[in-house]
Amino acid sequence: MGKNLTQKILTSHLVSGDLDKGNEIALRIDQTLTQDATGTMAYLQFEAMNLSRVRTECSVSYIDHNTLQTGFENADDHAFLQSAAARFGAYFSRPGNGICHQVHLERFAKPGKTLLGSDSHTPTAGGMGMLSMGAGGLDVAVAMGGGAFYLPNPKVLRIWLTGQLSDWVSAKDIILEILRVLSVKGGVGKILEYAGPGVKTLTVPQRATITNMGAELGATSSIFPSDEQTLLFLKAQGRAEDFVPLAADEDASYDQEIKLDLSLLVPLVAQPHSPDNVLPVTERSTLPVHQVAIGSCTNSSYQDLMIVRQILKGKHVHPDVSLVISPGSRQVLSMLSSNGALTDLLDSGARLLESSCGPCIGMGQSPVSKGVSVRTFNRNFEGRSGTQDASIYLASPEVAAASALTGYLTDPRTLGLPPVVDFPALFRIDDSMILPPGDPNTLIRRGPNIQPLPLAPALDNSLSLPILLKLGDNVTTDDIMPAGSKILPLRSNIPAISEYAFHKVDAQLASKAKALKQSILVAGHNYGQGSSREHAALAPMYLGIRAVLVQSFARIHRANLINFGILPLTFVNEEDLNRIQPGDTLHLLDLQQAIHSPAPFAITLNNDSNPVWVKHDLTERQAKILLAGGLLNATKAEV
């Protein structure tokens, strides 16, 4: 029996574990990336391990999230990250050079390699045939130090593509259709591997759009083969030497398969407030639009923005619409500038933003109250835009540009002939904004906002935990630890940022948690979906939350909870969620024995003689980490 593409890369990087069994595996990581919203913690954690230099083939520190500098905090973080990258041997992508995933795809991604990033959209590089995964900053810090990355042995879901996209239909519509079919929980525990004759019709930037939004399925990663399209892209980036052909064997097997005929797709849109709330644009074609935002790590490539230019050229944005555009990288921006496309975009009435994440993370350009914003982004969680009552629709660049012209949600097929954009034979290459690894004697700069990393205490053998909060399904990391221009600058200061934990749910929650000293959270399915931000575990840990009991977890968030000493538990009987209310108390006894055993165990709800049965699914390695109070404590104990 042959191997699929995922198995080939896993096998070549396997440090421990068995791919033929459903247990935990450990992988060697070739490359890492961090960004400034998560990078300060990652480098503080790396420093705490007392390592002198990174031990990967390549590690890159990007500045792309916190580029809005309304106070000293973000600027201080950038100075810290630049000096830390120099000292520890990482590349440093300066502010303005672009969004980490777009730049990494352009300048660093390599077929067949592994990439671990402290951002959930790291699988973008899967469009290059790279096995790339998002993780918490602590896992990335360990990988930078040469340590293995541990994860549950994933299942592999093959998505067999046939046919070719019709006019005005794009790669965004492919992943929206997959989200419609599978839902935001459909990829949990899986790697999505794309194959079939339809694959060869998609360019690397189109593939990257698809793998980027695989994160919204909860998938561990998504990957395309490395083929002629990969070579074409690498040649255009002046990196032909990085090409390696990679594909699944013809007789490879998979755990699951779905088939998708690209020729049957139509322009789609994801309605508020979930990326899987998908329907054809034609079903909402009378919806007035107040804002259009084009960019983010999902749809800000040269190809994407040239399509937008072709649609807007010689026309003008509707007077009731604010159109903002953020190129994904300095390379994209400079090429648009040199070929005249930037002038055409500006002449249409578009507003140009910095090459950064910007509106996607609520960092500027919040919509009008109760407004409708059509965005080419990857997430439309409630309140993420910065306007709590706004309605965010996710769409392709074609749909977004058409809607900007008409003032309502528009099927671009009504515009006539589709735009034609030639793939460039050579991209403009200028790496002057990427600083190479520097002097190991570099003094690390620390502003007053950069506070020491708090650590959890070792886990007690018995805990009586009041229920601080009860929540429903699909709680996002934005719900747990909001982003935005007011909160993101506090990423290096856990005591300060913890004041905003669950702020949208209960503005007084931090003070309530401190008053209780120790507590537990209870929720439904897919708890912790969305971003990889470990602050969604760090802040609750700082507030004394010792355990989280849910019906199911998102992969990255569960790993982050373990890394910071919070016990992740799931119900054996899901209906027990209905028995528990805020203010109740759960009594957990003999935890050391329970955590070391794979068997479910009973906890007491108040004084009820009918226990709540729970399970943890921890490996022995994870059990030791939890009992030590987190990964850093466990690592220090072994030194």
Catalytic entry in 13, 101, 121, 379? 379
Residue holding tokens 């096995």? 131
Q: For residue 636, what pLDDT band results from cuts at 50, 70 and 90?
A: low
| Cβ-Cβ contacts under 8 Å for 495 (sequence gap 6 or more) | 451, 454, 542
pLDDT at 485: 76
Catalytic entry in 30, 36, 64, 344? 64
Catalytic residue list contains 13: no
User: Which of 220, 239, 264 lies at the terminal end of a domain, its last residue?
Assistant: 264
User: Which of 249, 264, 279 lies at the terminal end of a domain, its last residue?
Assistant: 264
DSSP code, position 581: -
- The domain total for the chain is 3
- Return the percentage of the chain with pLDDT > 70, whole number: 99
Q: For the residues 298-318, what does the mean pLDDT come to?
A: 97
pLDDT at 491: 85
**Across 308-451, where does the E strand assignment appear?**
322-325, 351-352, 372-375, 391-394, 434-435
User: Other CB atoms closer than 10 Å to residue 463's CB: what's the count?
Assistant: 18
Catalytic entry in 36, 76, 77, 119? 119
Digit-coded pLDDT (tens) for 116-158? 999 999 999 999 999 999 999 999 999 999 999 999 999 999 9
Cα separation, 306 vs 628, in Å, equals 53
pLDDT at 22 over 80: no
pLDDT at 312: 98
Cα separation, 606 vs 586, in Å, equals 6
CATH number, domain with residue 614? 3.20.19.10
Establish if 144 belongs to a structural domain.
yes
Cα separation, 140 vs 198, in Å, equals 34
- Using left for φ > 0, alpha for ψ between -120 and 50, and beta otherwise, residue 189 falls in left
Distances (CA, A) of 545 to 184, 470, 619: 26, 13, 22
Catalytic residue list contains 379: yes
Residues 388 and 515 in one domain: no
Digit-coded pLDDT (tens) for 85-126? 999 999 999 999 999 999 999 999 999 999 999 999 999 999
Cα separation, 368 vs 459, in Å, equals 46
CATH number, domain with residue 375? 3.30.499.10
Establish if 542 belongs to a structural domain.
yes
Residues 250 and 276 in one domain: no
Residues 497 and 631 in one domain: yes
Cα separation, 335 vs 327, in Å, equals 10
Establish if 571 belongs to a structural domain.
yes
Catalytic residue list contains 64: yes
Establish if 435 belongs to a structural domain.
no
Residues 226 and 310 in one domain: no
Q: For the residues 452-462, what does the mean pLDDT come to?
A: 89
Catalytic residue list contains 348: no
Catalytic residue list contains 65: yes
Tell me the residue range of the domain where 139 lies: 5-264
pLDDT at 637: 63
Q: For the residues 369-382, what does the mean pLDDT come to?
A: 94
Task: Measure the N-to-C terminal CA separation of the chain; round to a whole number of Å.
Answer: 43
Distance, CA of 234 to chain centre? 24
pLDDT at 120: 92
pLDDT at 16: 94
Establish if 458 belongs to a structural domain.
no
Q: Per mean pLDDT, which range of 352-366, 402-416, 550-564 is the poorest?
A: 352-366
Catalytic residue list contains 36: no
User: Which of 348, 379, 414 lies at the terminal end of a domain, its last residue?
Assistant: 414
Length of the chain, in residues: 639
Residues 307 and 219 in one domain: no
Residue holding tokens 């993420």? 384
Cα separation, 461 vs 627, in Å, equals 9
Digit-coded pLDDT (tens) for 570-610? 999 999 999 999 999 999 999 999 999 999 999 999 988 89
Q: For the residues 514-526, what does the mean pLDDT come to?
A: 96
Q: For the residues 530-541, what does the mean pLDDT come to?
A: 90
Q: Is the dihedral of CA 578, 582, 585, 587 positive or negative?
A: positive
Digit-coded pLDDT (tens) for 185-228? 999 999 999 999 999 999 999 999 999 999 999 999 999 999 99
Angle between helices 620-628 and 631-638 (to 10 degrees): 100
- Of 142, 57, 148, the C-alpha closest to 108 is 57
Residues 39 and 92 in one domain: yes
Digit-coded pLDDT (tens) for 467-516? 999 999 999 998 999 888 788 888 889 999 999 999 989 999 999 999 99
pLDDT at 639: 47
Element containing residue 307 per DSSP (H, E): helix 302-312
Average pLDDT, the chain: 94
Residues 293 and 334 in one domain: yes
| Cβ-Cβ contacts under 8 Å for 243 (sequence gap 6 or more) | 111, 226, 230, 231, 234, 235
Distances (CA, A) of 386 to 103, 421, 493: 26, 34, 21
Residues 272 and 259 in one domain: no
Q: For the residues 316-321, what does the mean pLDDT come to?
A: 98
Residues 273 and 245 in one domain: no
Catalytic entry in 13, 65, 101, 616? 65
Residues 99 and 240 in one domain: yes
Establish if 448 belongs to a structural domain.
no
Establish if 535 belongs to a structural domain.
yes
Catalytic entry in 533, 546, 555, 558? 533
Q: For the residues 536-540, what does the mean pLDDT come to?
A: 95
Residues 239 and 292 in one domain: no
Residues 158 and 94 in one domain: yes
Q: What is the pTM of this model?
A: 0.92
Q: Comparing 626 with 67, which gets the higher pLDDT?
A: 626
Catalytic entry in 301, 391, 531, 532? 531
pLDDT at 303: 96
Establish if 165 belongs to a structural domain.
yes
